[in-house]
Amino acid sequence: RSPHHSASMAALTGGGLKVKPGEVSLAHLGVLFLDELPEFQRAVLDSLRQPLEIGTISVARANAHVTFPARVQLIAAMNPCRCGHLGDASLACARAPRCAADYQNKVSGPFLDRIDLTVEVSAVNAVDLMLPPPVEGSAEIGVRVAAARAVQRARYGKAGLRTNAEADGELLERVAVLDDDARRLLAQAAEAMRLSARGFHRVIRVARTIADLAGAERVARIHVAEALSYRRRTPTN
């Protein structure tokens, strides 16, 4: 599902006189893609905090209170600033980098804290387009993903879960066994980056997934380091 950034809260979460599911529930067990993320109303985005945390959405109306399933893989995209040229001195506006901070701050911190992977994608130039394709293509990656998901299904079978994404913090700490170097790195990063409890467990979840993709039984320092690299960074020029 890919709702427009002008979508109302009812359209995204559900509502109406006869309560109907919204986009987040229609995308259950699939992908919810939000393009131009800061252009959505802040309250609309914040209404997604519950489903991103627990996989359900509760809609309360005068005549009904309904809970819909809403476990989605959220993918969001945004420009670094309104003009879209942050980092290019010849094109960036006169307010850079302040304009980037203002633009990105339209999305609340608690919402961003629920984003596991933040990746900056640089502009593609003509030279990039002429480069040969990567050695590992989508088909090869798909095989690794399928193998990792099979490992996770076996890991959580008794708990009735399928993936690391569904495991809560307590369960994660039992199944994501960090070696000593990984544990030290995470402790140092948690203090330096001021990770919230939610952010701390999300780093562990991502590190466990990276280890699964690598076919590793234990979570090593390199897996934690990569997971930490995906946490949100402060905008700079």
Pairing state between β 73-76 and 31-34: parallel
Let me know whether 214 and 170 are in one domain: yes
> What pLDDT was estimated at residue 104?
86
Let me know whether 80 and 19 are in one domain: yes
Let me know whether 164 and 209 are in one domain: yes
Tell me whether residue 3 is in a domain.
Answer: no
At 42, which CATH number? 3.40.50.300
Tell me whether residue 125 is in a domain.
Answer: no
Last residue of a domain, one of 100, 115, 130: 115
Let me know whether 23 and 108 are in one domain: yes
Let me know whether 106 and 15 are in one domain: yes
Tell me whether residue 194 is in a domain.
Answer: yes
List, run by run, the mean pLDDT of 10-residue segments along the chain (237 residues): 95 89 96 96 95 93 87 94 70 72 89 93 82 86 96 92 91 91 96 93 96 95 97 58
Tell me whether residue 145 is in a domain.
Answer: yes
> What pLDDT was estimated at residue 236?
43
> What pLDDT was estimated at residue 102?
85
Let me know whether 32 and 109 are in one domain: yes
Last residue of a domain, one of 83, 115, 147: 115
Write the DSSP assignment of the chain as a string of letters.
----TT--HHHHHEETTTTEE-HHHHTTTSEEEESSGGGS-HHHHHTTHHHHHHSEEEEEETTEEEEEE---EEEE---SSSSS-TT-TTTS-TTTTHHHHHHHTTS-HHHHTT-S-----PPP-HHHHTSPPPSS-HHHHHHHHHHHHHHHHHHHGGGT--SGGG--HHHHHHH--B-HHHHHHHHHHHHHTT--HHHHHHHHHHHHHHHHHTT-SSB-HHHHHHHHHTS------
Let me know whether 88 and 169 are in one domain: no
Q: How many domains does the chain have?
A: 2
- Hey, what are 80's tokens? 């670094």
Range of the structural domain that residue 56 is part of: 9-115
User: For 137-167, how does the pLDDT look when each residue is reduced to its tens digit (9 = 90+)?
Assistant: 899 999 999 999 999 999 998 889 999 999 9
